[in-house]
Amino acid sequence: MSCVDCSAKNPLAVKSSLIDPDGGSLVDLMVSESQMDLKTLEAQSMPKLKITKWHFIDICESFILV
DSSP 2-65: --SSHHHH-TT-----PPPPTTSS----PPPGGGHHHHHHHHHTS------HHHHHHHHHHHHH
Contact residues for 17 (Cβ-Cβ < 8 A; gap 6+): 2
pLDDT at position 1 is 44
- For the segment 5-63, what is each residue's pLDDT rounded down to a tens digit? 555 566 666 666 777 777 778 888 899 999 999 999 999 999 998 999 999 888 888 77
